[in-house]
Amino acid sequence: MALGLVRTAARRFPQWGDEFGALMVATIVVNQLVGPPMFRAAIVAVGESGVDPRPGSIRAEFDASDSVADAKVTPGAKITSAAAEV
């Protein structure tokens, strides 16, 4: 979709559209190459992946208190979680 928008902009603005298009395609390519590894690194860094970020460690120990299974719903009340009660 983004490449289609770049193509449309390049055709609509012939004075600077080609340069803009080249810059945007390069930006999209860099985003597609760098984005997923950086996103994974962020998820691991905040501890949401279940992988221990320390070197040499395979997996972090799962903390059951952070799981969705602890959530409880009471009829006629708002949704609460055991973690919110601590």
pTM over cut 0.85 = no
Residue 13: pLDDT above 50? yes
pLDDT at 68 over 90: no
pLDDT of residue 60: 44
Which residue segment(s) compose the domain that 81 sits in?
2-85
CA distance 73 to 78: 7
Q: Residue 53: what pLDDT?
A: 61
| Domains held by the chain: number | 1
Query: What is the sign, positive or negative, of the torsion defined by CA atoms of 20, 21, 24, 29?
Result: negative
Average pLDDT over residues 30-35: 94
Segment among 42-46, 64-68, 71-75 with least mean pLDDT: 64-68
Please check whether residue 53 is in contact with residue 45, taking contact to mean a CB–CB distance below 8 angstroms.
Answer: yes
